[in-house]
Amino acid sequence: MKKNIAIIMGGYSSEVEISLKSGNVVYENLSKEKYNAYRVHILKDKWVALDEFSNEYPINKHNFSFEPNGKKIHFDCVFNAIHGNPGEDGTILAYFKLIGLKHTSAPFYQMALTFNKRDCLSVVKPYGIKTAISYYLDKGNIINVDEIIAKVGLPCFVKPNNAGSSFGISKVKTKEEMLPAIEKAFKEDSQILIEAFLNGKEYTVGVFYYKGAVKVLPITEIISENDFFDYEAKYLGKSQEITPADIEPQLLKKLEETAKKVYLALNMTGFSRTEYIVVNNEPYFLEMNTVPGMTTASILPQQAAAAGISLPELFDNAIEMALKTEI
């Protein structure tokens, strides 16, 4: 019997278009002999399943089913391709937990934890993971620019605490740039994180369960044409992504061990891509992406290809791992 798979995509954040691209790549690469795959658009104004001709059918939110031509379709598993809210922050995964539906991501608590940059950093620090000096602000707090600069220095990064894809992030080089950067970040989130600038090379590491064991993929070095790995660098070709990175063996081992340690410390399952800046041969953990891009140009698929894992294998493994988990 073929398994019915819902590939959820879209979402409620600024990343909706990127998510739709990722979801469609998953749809195109899932085995048609093994799975009945359906694209499911989770959008603010509608939840709809699409048939092969892109006809839309409303999702029944009581049990996440739909009825094309009077025939009710229930899903065996959900492939989560929603970047940001509600896929990457765990919201929709809590709903799947309640209705007993398996999915390819980590449990909802782990997703919520890793999506919150501040909370994620606080959890990994006791494990000896190095992080940048940081300062936190909630909307409505008194903003003392001198106090912020005294703690994190200049230049520094101002970023939304709960957001992905580099929306709302600024590199602040002068005191005068601080307030506009804070206002920009608050447009994306009610909490912001201000971090000291780390002067070093940037690397990103894919980690996930592959055939039942934690696998660290070949590492990518990020060389941005812009001031940092912003939205343009990430999605509009304004960066070089070198996979596998040219890293001397000792540092390579340290990065791999750190990435695996972070994945296990956060009790992760499913896909992850963690970001590091290396300063004086020491990796500093920045953040974890738990629904990384899945287009052919995205970093994690590039890393998988370097490891000899094709897109169909990558996506099939995610579903097989999910089907074996307990709800």
The whole-chain average pLDDT of the chain stands at: 94
Tell me the Cα Rg of the chain: 20
As a whole number, mean pLDDT of residues 112-138 equals 97
The tokens describing 95, both together, are 């709903």
Q: Pairing relation of β-strands 191-196 and 213-216?
A: unpaired
Strand-pairing partners, residue 49, are: 40, 57
Contact (Cβ atoms closer than 8 angstroms) between residue 90 and residue 111: yes
Q: Could you tell me if residue 208 is left (phi over 0), alpha (psi between -120 and 50 degrees) or otherwise beta?
A: beta
pLDDT at 226 over 90: no
Q: How confident is the model at residue 229 (pLDDT cuts 50, 70, 90)?
A: very low
Beta partners for residue 50, in sequence order: 39, 56
Q: For the segment 237-259, what is each residue's pLDDT rounded down to a tens digit? A: 557 999 999 999 999 999 999 99
Q: CA–CA separation, 213 vs 230, rounded Å?
A: 32
Q: Does 309 score more than 90 pLDDT?
A: yes
**Has residue 107 got a pLDDT over 80?**
yes
- Token pair belonging to 181: 């950067």
Q: What does the alpha-carbon distance between residue 324 and residue 303 come to, in Å, rounded to a whole number?
A: 25
Q: Is 166 a residue whose pLDDT tops 80?
A: no
Residues 66 and 69: their CA atoms lie apart, in Å, by 10
Please list, in sequence order, all residues whose beta carbon lies within 8 angstroms of the beta carbon of residue 314, skipping any fewer than 6 positions away: 301, 304
The average pLDDT across 103-112 equals 98
- What pLDDT is attached to residue 14? 84
DSSP for 249-310, written as a single string: HHHHHHHHHHHHHHHHHTT--S-EEEEEEEETTEEEEEEEESS---STTSHHHHHHHHTT--
Q: What is the pLDDT of residue 163?
A: 66
Q: Is the peptide bond before 126 cis (omega within 30 degrees of 0)?
A: no
pLDDT at residue 247, as a whole number = 97
Helix ranges restricted to H, the chain: 16-29, 91-99, 108-115, 117-124, 145-152, 178-186, 231-235, 249-265, 299-306, 311-323
Q: How far is CA 286 from CA 134, 214, 252, in A?
A: 11, 21, 17
How large is the average pLDDT for residues 276-293? 96
Q: How far apart, in whole angstroms, are the C-alpha atoms of residue 138 and residue 33?
A: 50
CB 22 within 8 A of CB 84: no
The span from the CA of 222 to the CA of 219, in Å, is: 10
